[in-house]
Amino acid sequence: MLPSMKRTGQTVLIAHVSAALLLAAGMLSLSAAPLTNTSAAKTTIPYVPTRHDIVKDLLWLAEVGTNDIVYDLGAGDGRVVIAAVRDFGARKAVGIELDAQLVQQSREKAAPAGVSGRVEFIHGDLFTNDFSLASVVVLYLGQRANLDLRAQIVRTLKPGARVVSHQFGMGEWTADKTLDVRTVLLGMYGERHNEFKDNPDVPDFDSTPGRANHDMLSVWNVPAPVAGVWRGSVRTASGDRELRLTLHQRLAEVRGSFQLQGPTNVEGHVEADLWGEHLRLHCLPAGGPYGEHLIWFDGHARGDTLNGCLWIAQRDGTQEVQWTGHRDKADFTGTWEWPGPSNSPVQLKIERRDGRLAATYEDKNRTVPVWAGGNKPIPVADFYDFGGGFYFTLLLGLQGTRLSGGSRITGPENGWLIGEAVAQENTLRGTIAFYPYAAESPLQPLDRKPPPQGRRDWQPRRVGP
């Protein structure tokens, strides 16, 4: 029989079981099991203990130290929580686990380890419990669970907090550091089919090498919200000039443009590197003599202020100055409309609920059968408010949830929709992309299947509040 290994959230994507069992079951993943002690979670994540050497590697990679508060989401028998305090000196460590028996085991192990006063084990659902105090979050859940958690992670953790995951990634959110550990294969490895796994623009992207004989450990720094229009005065040899930055943000990916106003206006594009609230910018002018008016910035983003050091390369040398930029006020609430995947109007409604922004998507021309819920507005759960702009992803045609392995309805309007924009002068300007399902069905005849639409300019118009 398969060992009893349950955890709230989803069917895990990896299981070390015998080949005979997999062949007999005709499957490549464990089935979801019904819950008996909670109604919050819809499915279970099998409990697969992390090897003790990998626990130490995870905490080392996340640079856990004496000032950290560590949360292990899906804490199992508590080994990560205990090691964080005992071996790395964390100020506090908290484990959240659904299985009451594992929670009790964790509490019993804490006393002989000498860490009882600095650890806590919560019996509950990791998707509904608060972990906003964490400076480090540890995950070993599965890619689908990671994706369903990441909006909450980015929204609630402070910029610079670290997220470290064993084996599973965060889709198109590129890891800041990785550690590839060769390991021994125990049993047979299985993974569900993912038609988008090679597309780095969508959350289904999976850059992890073969998990059958590798342990991949990854760390992400929660990004500060830096999207928007920033302005600040620059004192140069030719007088005071205004530097204007327009930054677009897709999680930790930042790009944009700049304008340096003065006797001679200079403009161009911006390359950026964002680690938490630490922001580096390289401003490259369009045209002009090579090496002139190059601008570098190295500083920090805190709220609506950028502070740091600015270097400007000119004919007579490179000038170094301290620079402060302030972000323009932005309001992108309202109902925004543009031609959708089938060239019919679609809408994104952004509103403020309970103190934060939320969005819904509507396409009145989508072909959704009644048995699948009909054509209703779709909540955009993966939505990010980045200050002066936003980013969102939406999997259209999904029935149920990703965690429960929900079914997908093919059709010309269904697939991954991904957009980002900056609020500028009462408009939105950014990029949008759509990647349809590859599968065909009676709802998606060959002559109706749209081609994939990579990133393209997007300027929706406001049509309502």
Check residue 437 and give its pLDDT: 82
Distance set, CA 133 to CA 64, 153, 195, 417 (Å): 15, 11, 36, 32
Check residue 19 and give its pLDDT: 28
Q: pLDDT tens, position by position, for the chain (465 residues)?
A: 223 232 333 222 223 322 222 222 233 332 222 222 333 444 467 788 888 999 999 999 999 999 999 999 999 999 999 999 999 999 999 999 999 999 999 999 999 999 999 999 999 999 999 999 999 999 999 888 999 999 999 999 999 999 999 999 999 999 999 999 988 766 555 667 778 888 999 999 988 767 677 889 999 999 999 999 999 999 877 778 899 999 999 999 999 999 998 777 889 999 999 999 999 999 999 876 666 778 999 999 999 999 999 998 877 788 899 999 999 999 999 999 999 887 889 999 999 998 899 999 999 887 776 666 667 899 999 999 999 999 999 999 876 655 555 667 666 678 899 999 999 888 999 999 999 887 554 444 444 455 556 889 999 999 999
Q: Are residues 193 and 235 part of one domain? A: no
Check residue 411 and give its pLDDT: 66
Residue 26 CB burial class (10 angstroms; 0-12, 13-18, ≥19): exposed
Q: Where a domain ends, among 221, 245, 271?
A: 221
Q: Are residues 193 and 74 part of one domain? A: yes
* DSSP 3-state percent helix, strand, coil across the chain (nearest 5): 15, 40, 45
Range of the domain at 382: 334-464
Q: Are residues 143 and 56 part of one domain? A: yes
d(CA 52, CA 83): 9
d(CA 381, CA 395): 10
Q: Where a domain ends, among 173, 192, 221?
A: 221
Check residue 120 and give its pLDDT: 97
Check residue 313 and give its pLDDT: 86
Check residue 154 and give its pLDDT: 97
Backbone angles phi, psi at 259, to 5 degrees: -140, 130
Of the candidates 96, 89, 95, the residue with the CA atom closest to the CA atom of residue 64: 89
d(CA 319, CA 295): 10
Of the candidates 392, 310, 315, the residue with the CA atom closest to the CA atom of residue 357: 392
Instruction: Tell me if 131 is assigned to some domain.
Output: yes
CATH number at residue 246: 2.40.128.120
Check residue 402 and give its pLDDT: 56
- The pairs formed by 250-258 with CB atoms below 8 angstroms and a separation of 24 or more are 250/172, 250/391, 250/420, 251/154, 251/172, 251/173, 251/223, 251/384, 251/391, 252/173, 252/174, 252/176, 252/220, 252/221, 252/223, 253/174, 254/226, 254/227, 254/279, 258/283, 258/295
For residue 58 the two structure tokens come to 């995870």
Q: Which helix (H) or strand (E) holds 24?
A: helix 19-25
Q: Are residues 421 and 363 part of one domain? A: yes
Of the candidates 202, 186, 162, the residue with the CA atom closest to the CA atom of residue 67: 162
Instruction: Tell me if 2 is assigned to some domain.
Output: no
Query: Is residue 256 helix, strand or coil?
Result: strand
pTM, whole model, 2 decimals?
0.86
Q: Are residues 59 and 138 part of one domain? A: yes
Distance set, CA 128 to CA 187, 272, 350 (Å): 33, 34, 23
Check residue 44 and give its pLDDT: 65
Instruction: Tell me if 423 is assigned to some domain.
Output: yes
Number of domains in the chain: 3
For residue 388 the two structure tokens come to 């002066």
Q: Are residues 339 and 304 part of one domain? A: no
Q: Where a domain ends, among 172, 202, 221?
A: 221
Q: Are residues 346 and 289 part of one domain? A: no
Q: Are residues 263 and 120 part of one domain? A: no
CATH number at residue 91: 3.40.50.150
